[in-house]
A and B are shown apart, each in its own frame.
Chain A
Amino acid sequence: MKGNHIGELEELVLLAVGALYKEGAYAVAILKVIKDSTDRKLDVTAVHSVLRRLERKGFVKSSMGGATQERGGRRKRFFNLTQAGRQALDDVMAVRMALYNKIPKLIFSQLSL
C-alpha cells in the first residue's frame, strides 16, 4: 500500500479535483473550494506542488485549457481524476467508514450524559 498512500492534503486536493469536475479543476479554483468548504487558507504554490505530485502518482491527469482574455492570456491547466485516483479515494473512504462503524454507540450515549 505504501506506493498508493495519500496524505491528508493530497486527499483534500484530490477530493476537490473530483468535486470540480463540471467547472474544471485548476489550481486557483481548487484553492477556493478548499477554502470555502474547510476554511483552510492554503498557499497556491502548495496546491501546485501537491497537484504535480498527484499527477506523478497517476491519480490525476491534466490538460491545458483554451486561451482567454483573463490572466494575461495565460492558459489554465485543468486536472481530472483518473481511475486510480478514484480508486484511491474510495479506498480511503472505505477504511474510514470501516473504522468509524466500529465505534460503539455506547460511547456517544455516555458522552452525552
Chain B
Amino acid sequence: MNYKPPRWADRFLAWYCNPDLLEEIQGDLYEIHDEKCAAGKPKLARFLFVWYVLRSFRYDVIRRNNKYKNSIFMMTRNNFKIAFRVLWRDWFNTALSMGGLAIGITCFLLMGFYVKQEVSFDHFHSKKDRIYRVWLKEDYGDNKVFFNSVTPLRFEELLEDDFSEIETAIQFNINNYLVGKGDDRNNENVAIISPELFSVFDFKILKGNPAKPLPELNDVILSASYANKYFGDEDPIGKSMGIQIGEEIRDFNVSAVFADIRKESSIQFDMAISNENNKNIYGERAMKAWFNVSQETYVLVGENSHISAVEEKIPDVVMGYLKGSVEEGVYNIGFQPLTDIHLNPDIPLGIAPVGNRDYVYILAVISVLVLVIACINYTTLSVGQSLKRSKEVGVRKVMGAFKSSLINQYLSESLVIAFFATVIGIALANLLLPIFNDLTNADVKLGFELWHIILYLGLVLIIGISSGIYPAFILSRLRITAILKGNNQASRNHYIRKGMVVFQFVVTVFLISSTLIMRQQLNYLHTKDLGFNYNATVSVPLYPDPSANRLSQLIVTAMEKGEILKEKLSQYPDIQDIGLGSHVFGSSGWGRLAFTDDAEVFRRFRLLVVDPYYFNTFHIKMKEGRAFDPKSDLDKRQSIIVNQAAVDYFGLDEPLGNRLPSKRFDDHAIIGVTENFNYSSLHSAVEPLVITQNVAIPYSGISDHGYADSPIPKLVFRYTGSQLSQVKQILNKEWENTFPEEDLNFDFVEENMRYQYANEDRLNRLVMISTILSIIIASLGLLGLTVLVVNSRTKEIGIRKVIGASELTIFKLLAKSFSLQLLLGIVLSIPVTYWLMKDWLSGFAYQIDIGIGIFTLSAVISIIVALTVISFHTIKASKTNPVNSLRSE
C-alpha cells in the first residue's frame, strides 16, 4: 500500500464491519484508493474511499457479534415468548393483575388529563411567557386595602406609552348588552377589546382580516358558533347587528369571525366590539380616572425585555402623575403571569373564573395513589406466585442462568402485563371519557399526539419496571439447593409483602372515608337551615331605564319597572309572595360598601336594597324589632334593618332606634335586627348586612363600593309547586305585555344555591370515582391472594376436614390473615384521613364534625367488601370433598 487512506474512515469500517468480511472489503477499497492516487487524483481517491466506507454500511455487512446475539436480541425475544406462555398458563392471575392495572391506568389517565388541563390553562398562547395581567392594589393602611385585577381604563395608554419594554398593552372587559333589533332581542355578553388583542393572544381569525379584525368603530366580531347562531350558513361578513349601548341602539357590522375560544382559556368571549367605543360607553371622565376600575389589562413584554424592568420603573412613573393626590406606597401596580391566573388564589378574581389549586393537587395525588395501589396489587400477586415458580428458577439456575438474566426474564413478564394493561386502560379511558366529562362537567380530551404516545410508553416502562422489580429480585435471589430440596423460603419476604397489602388497604379505606366525609359535608351545605326559605322561588332580573346613569338611578328605575310587573303578576294565584330586591340568594358577591366611622375606623358592610315584601318571599325571620311596613312611608324613606352580625360588628348595644356609626349618613333609624341568615355560600361566615328601601341612605356616607353580583334589582316570587309550566307561561305572557323590548330571563333560586358548591361537588365526584376504582382494584388483588393461599393449602384443608373441622372453622382460618391486615389498614387510615379532611373542611366556615360514625361506616364497608371477596373462593375450598384434594399426587 503506497498511499494512506483517511484513517477515521478506515477505523470506522473496521469497527462496524463483520470480521469475516472485513479483509476483502478493506483490501478492495485500499486497492481502488491506491490506483486513484497513482493516477494523480488523491482528493478523488480520499473522497471515494470515505464514500465507499459509508456505502458499505449495510445490514449484511454490520458486525453482529456473539454477545449481542445471545443476551440482547435473542434473549429478549425468548424472554417475551416465555412471558407470554407463563401469563397464558396462569390466565386467571394474569387477568386479575392486568385488570387491576388497567383500571388504575384508566383512573390515572382521566384524572391526569383533567389535572393537566387545569395546570396548563392559558398555555396554548405562543407568547404566553411574555404576557402579564396587571393588578392594582390601593393600600391606605389600617386594613383599608383595595386589591383588584381589573384596572382603570387609562392603563392601556399609560403602559404602552410610558414603558418602552412593553410591546403592546390591551384591555378586555365584558358588558351585558341587548343584541338584535325589534322584538327579537337577546341579552348577550359582549366583550369590549383592544383591536390588538389578536396580536397578543393566539386566537384564530377564520374570516376577515387577521391583521386588523376590528378596523372600525362600528365593527363587531363573532365566534364561529355565534356567527352560526345569528346568521346560520350565510356569510356573516358585512352583515349588520343592532347592539343597545346606553339608550341608543347602534348598528354594528360584522368584520371578522374567529374560531371558538378553547375551554382552557381564561379569556372567553363570543362577540366583541372595539374599545374605541369606550368614551361612548363609560364617558369622558372615566377615560382619565385613576380609581375607577373595570378593565382587565394585559401587557405583552418585548422580546428582549423583562417585566422586572417595568416593575422597577412603575412607582416613579405613577407618582409623576399622582403627586399631591396620593401618598407614596398607596397606589401599587403589579403584574401576574398569564399562566398563573387560573390557579393562583393570592390575586383576586378578574373577569375570568378561576379554578381551585388545592383541589387540583388533591386530584393529582389521588390519581397517582390509585396507580400505585394498582402496581402494588400486581407486585403482591406475583410475589405470592413466586412459590409456584421457585422450581422453575431452580432449574434455570442449575442450567447456569445468571441472576441478571433471571431478573430480565421476570421483568419481561411485567412489561408484557404493563403493556397490555396500558392498552386496555387507554381504551377504557376513551370509552369512559363522555361519562367522566358529564359527571365532572369537565372537557377532558385524550389525544394521540407524539407526547401522548411517549407518555403511554413511559407509563408502560415505569409501571412494568416498578411493579416487576421486587418480585424479580425475590425470585432471582432464591438459593438453588433450598429450592430443589423443597424448602419454603418465602417467609422472609412476608413482611414487605404484607406491608404492601396493608398500604393498599390504608389508601382504599382512606379514599372511602374521604368520600363519605365530603359527601356528608356537601349534604350539610345543601341542607343546612340558612335562616331563609328558598324553596320554589324564582328570580327575574329587571332592566333599568336606558337613560339611567348612576348606580342609584339604575336601582331605582329598575325597582319602578319591577313594581309594574309585580302589579300584573299579583292577579295570578299560582304566583305568591312577590318581592323585589337588589340581590338574590345563590349569587355570591353582594354589594360591598365601605366607610370610615366616627371613631376613624374603616368599616365594610354589604348592602341589600329591597321592597317591603322581600322578607315575606324568603321568610326571613326577625330577631328584634320589626320588618318593613308596606304601608309606612317613613319606612320607605329612612328605616333600615341590619343583621345580627352588623350589630356585633358596629358595636351597637341598643340597635333599635340607633343608626350606623357615622354622622355622614343621611337621617335614618334601625327598626329591626334579623337573624344571621347565610346569604353567601357557607365557605364564609355571615358578614354584616344592611337592608334598606332607600338606596340614598347608605350611599350618603360611604367612601367606596364594589359589586361582584349585579345590584340591578330582581323580581322574586314563590310559585305553587305543581304548576311550573303554567308559571312559565304566565311569566312569558306578562313580560311580553310589560316589556316587549327586553329579553326575559329567570333563574330558579334552588338551582343557583346548588351551584354555589359546584367546585366541591365536582371534587367529590372525582374522588368518588377514584374510590370506586380503587375498591375494585383492591378487591381484585384480594381475590388473587385468596386464590393463591387457598391453592397452596388445599391439602391442609383436606386433612383438617378429615379430622373434623367445620366449614366455618376453615373459612375463619383462611380469612384470618387478611382480616388482620385489613384491620391494621383501617386503623392506620384513620389519622391520615382525619388530618387531611380537617384541612379540607377548614375551607368552610360551617363544617361537620368528623365523628367516629364515618370511620365505623367506612370500616364496615371495607370489611363487607373484603369478606365477600375472600368468601368467593374460600367457601368453595372449604366445601370441597377432602377426598378430592387428598387423592391427587
Contacts and interface: CB of A to CB of B under 8 A. Distances in A.
Given A26-B24, A71-B1, 5 more contacts: A28-B32, A48-B25, A72-B1, A72-B26, A74-B24
Contacts of A71: 1, 27-28, 30-31, 34
B7 interface: no
A77 interface: yes
Contacts of A49: 58, 60
Contacts of A77: 23-24
Nearest to A62: B24
A74 B32 CA distance: 13
Interface string B5-37: 000000000000000000111111111101000
Interface residues of A, number: 19
A70 interface: yes
Contacts of B34: 70-71
B32 A44 contact: yes
Contacts of B28: 26-28, 44, 48, 71, 76
Given A70-B1, A71-B1, A45 B27 contact: no
A75 interface: yes
Contacts of B29: 44
A53 to B, nearest CB: 9
Contacts of B26: 72, 74
25 contacts: A26-B24, A26-B28, A27-B28, A28-B32, A44-B28, A44-B29, A44-B52, A45-B55, A45-B58, A48-B61, A64-B23, A70-B31, A71-B1, A71-B27, A71-B30, A71-B34, A72-B1, A72-B26, A74-B24, A74-B26, A74-B30, A75-B24, A75-B27, A76-B24, A76-B27
Contacts of A27: 24, 28
Contact of B60 (A46, A52, A64, A70): A52
B56 interface: yes
With most chain B CB atoms within 10 A of its CB, the pick from A27, A70, A74, A77 is A74
Contacts of A72: 1, 26-27, 30
A70 B24 CA distance: 13
Contacts of B30: 71-72, 74
Contacts of B55: 43, 45-46
Contacts of A74: 23-24, 26-27, 30
Interface string B741-774: 0000000000000000000000000000000000
Contacts of A76: 24, 27-28
A39 to B, nearest CB: 18
A70 B2 CA distance: 9
Interface of A: 26-28, 43-46, 48-49, 52, 64, 70-77
B26 to A, nearest CB: 5
Nearest to A77: B24
Contacts of B1: 70-73
B108 to A, nearest CB: 50
Nearest to B27: A74
A52 B24 CA distance: 12
A7 to B, nearest CB: 17
Interface string B111-135: 0000000000000000000000000
A27 B52 CA distance: 13
A75 B23 contact: yes
B1 to A, nearest CB: 4
Nearest to A49: B58
A77 B23 CA distance: 9
B33 to A, nearest CB: 10
A28 B31 contact: yes
Question: Which of B27, B30, B34 neighbours the largest number of chain A CB atoms within 10 Å of its CB?
Answer: B27
Interface string B43-69: 000000000100110101100000000
Contacts of B32: 28, 44
Nearest to A45: B55
A73 to B, nearest CB: 8
B118 to A, nearest CB: 57
A70 B31 CA distance: 8
Contacts of B25: 48
B52 A45 contact: yes
Contacts of A46: 55
Nearest to B55: A45
Nearest to A47: B28
A44 B34 CA distance: 14
A64 B28 CA distance: 13
A52 B18 CA distance: 13
Nearest to A75: B23
A44 B33 CA distance: 11
Contacts of B31: 28, 70-71
A48 B31 CA distance: 14
User: Closest 8 CB pairs between A and B?
Assistant: A74-B27, A72-B1, A77-B24, A45-B55, A71-B27, A27-B28, A71-B30, A45-B56
Nearest to A51: B24
Nearest to B24: A77
User: Which of A43, A72, A73 has the most B CB atoms < 10 Å from its CB?
Assistant: A72
Contacts of B61: 48
A24 B56 CA distance: 23
Interface in B83-122: none
A44 B515 CA distance: 75
A66 to B, nearest CB: 12
Nearest to A56: B60
Contacts of A45: 52, 55-56, 58
A33 to B, nearest CB: 14
Nearest to A43: B55
Interface string B544-566: 00000000000000000000000
A9 to B, nearest CB: 15
Contacts of A44: 28-29, 32, 52
B56 A48 contact: yes
Contacts of A28: 28, 31-32
A88 to B, nearest CB: 21
A17 to B, nearest CB: 15
A61 to B, nearest CB: 14
Interface centre among A26, A27, A28, A45 (most CB of B within 10 A): A45
A45 B25 CA distance: 8
